[in-house]
């Protein structure tokens, strides 16, 4: 006789697990991480390793403090802390001292993720918050002392000092060609953010594996570029340099699309990513620093509000247009009923 299982919905479960999705994200991040190591050398690799190790160790120790058994912890380990550590390292510069990725990773896992209840319960993205923490805590290291990459620009020049974004925002324009900006050659920056090609490859992999939807990162990037153009008095030459500089691609593809901290309805996601683009462009123009992480952090905090107003449509329920049509029809029916009453 077959077993009858009485349970609450959902009754049909997908084969995808958190671990599988996180493995996809790690694979998608690898090209950019490898390019970061190629550009910035051993120090970048060390930063990534410290960050990942610290993240995993923090999660393990925190779970031990909750009196879970070591074997259970290893069995239920879902790779999210590896993703957090990897992402965090990718938005740190390679020249930071060894304790910056360490402390930031411990902060992002222990305070941002585990204190709120672990995977899926955090209200803000741990990696983003870790970067913001590093930015506030070690400001002098995060905004200066940029190291030139090992591979020079296509015309052979190497720029040191400020990143391309800071010089654009400072009104000095960019000093490498747009193709260099796309490839990340000859420009300073954080470990994972310079090579847009590698990030794009990772993004396409995620879209192909259906981990993220392609519309949302594209909306974020395009809206950011367009608002930047508007703020520069409709100088359309600003579009490409604005989207190709800084950590916009990294943030748009890997961080803003985090399931836990983005709205749970499609319409809500449109609102979220458009607002992100506007906020990033406006704050960049106002503060003259890279604000992608701050913008995502801010919008993460607004996600509960978006979720409260824009609910996901249950399967089979009327969609937006159908609902409006039904409303109009019910009003018509009410009117007709009234007129009948009068007669």
Partner 1 sequence: MTGKRFKTIAFDGLLKNNPTLRLVLGTCPTLALSTAAFNGIGMGLAVTFILICSNVLISLLRKTIPNAVRIPAFVIIIATFVTIVRMVLDKFIPSLYDSMGVYLPLIVVNCIILGRAESFASKNKVLDSACDGLFTGLGFTCALTLIGAVREILGAGAIFGYTLWDFKIEFFTSSAGAFFVYGLAIAIFNAIYSKVENVRRSKTFDLRIMPKPDVSAPDNLDPEESEKAQASTTADVAAKEVK
Residues that bind partner 1 (CB under 8 A): 99, 103, 111, 133, 136-140
CB 139, min distance to partner 1, A = 6
CB 104, min distance to partner 1, A = 10
Closer residue to partner 1, CB minimum distance, 111 or 201: 111
Closer residue to partner 1, CB minimum distance, 97 or 332: 97
**What six digits make up the tokens of 194?**
């310079």
Closer residue to partner 1, CB minimum distance, 108 or 242: 108
Q: How far apart are CA 64 and CA 44, in angstroms?
A: 30
Where b means 16+ CB within 10 Å and e means fewer, 187-225 reads: bbbbbbbbbbebbbbbbebbbebebbeeebbebbbbbbb
**What six digits make up the tokens of 54?**
């610290």
Closer residue to partner 1, CB minimum distance, 7 or 140: 140
CA gyration radius for the chain?
A: 23
**What six digits make up the tokens of 29?**
């991040």
* Residues contacting residue 246 through CB under 8 Å, at least 6 positions apart: 163, 164, 165, 189, 193, 284, 290, 292
Closer residue to partner 1, CB minimum distance, 137 or 154: 137
Closer residue to partner 1, CB minimum distance, 9 or 140: 140
CB 137, min distance to partner 1, A = 3
CB 99, min distance to partner 1, A = 8
Where b means 16+ CB within 10 Å and e means fewer, 278-309 reads: bbbbbbbbeeeebbbbbbbbbbbeebeebbee
CB 26, min distance to partner 1, A = 28
CB 134, min distance to partner 1, A = 9
């Amino acid at each position: 006789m077959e077993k009858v299982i009485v349970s609450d919905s959902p009754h049909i479960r997908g084969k995808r697990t958190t671990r599988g999705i996180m493995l996809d994200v790690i694979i998608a991040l690898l090209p950019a991480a490898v390019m970061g190591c190629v550009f910035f050398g051993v120090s970048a690799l060390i930063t990534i390793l410290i960050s990942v190790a610290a993240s995993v160790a923090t999660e393990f120790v925190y779970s031990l403090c909750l009196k879970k058994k070591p074997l259970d912890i290893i069995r239920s380990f879902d790779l999210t802390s590896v993703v957090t550590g990897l992402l965090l390292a990718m938005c740190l510069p390679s020249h930071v001292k060894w304790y910056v990725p360490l402390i930031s990773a411990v902060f992002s896992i222990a305070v941002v993720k585990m204190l709120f209840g672990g995977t899926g319960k955090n209200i803000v993205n741990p990696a983003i918050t870790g970067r913001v923490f590093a930015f506030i805590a070690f400001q002098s290291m995060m905004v200066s002392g940029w190291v030139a990459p090992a591979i020079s620009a296509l015309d052979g020049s190497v720029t040191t000092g400020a990143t391309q974004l800071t010089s654009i925002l400072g009104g000095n324009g960019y000093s490498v060609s747009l193709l260099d900006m796309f490839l990340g050659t000859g420009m300073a920056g954080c470990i994972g953010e310079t090579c847009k090609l590698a990030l794009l490859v990772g993004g396409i992999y995620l879209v192909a594996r259906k981990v993220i939807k392609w519309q949302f990162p594209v909306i974020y990037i395009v809206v950011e570029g367009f608002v930047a153009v508007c703020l520069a008095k409709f100088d359309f030459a600003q579009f490409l340099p604005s989207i190709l500089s800084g950590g916009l691609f990294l943030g748009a593809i890997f961080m803003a699309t985090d399931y836990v901290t983005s709205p749970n309805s499609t319409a809500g996601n449109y609102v979220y990513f458009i607002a992100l683009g506007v906020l990033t462009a406006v704050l960049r123009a106002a503060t003259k620093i890279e604000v992608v992480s701050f913008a995502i952090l801010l919008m993460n905090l607004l996600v509960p509000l978006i979720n409260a107003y824009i609910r996901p449509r249950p399967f089979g329920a009327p969609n937006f247009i159908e609902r409006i049509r039904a409303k109009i029809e019910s009003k018509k029916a009410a009117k007709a009923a009234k007129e009948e009453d009068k007669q």
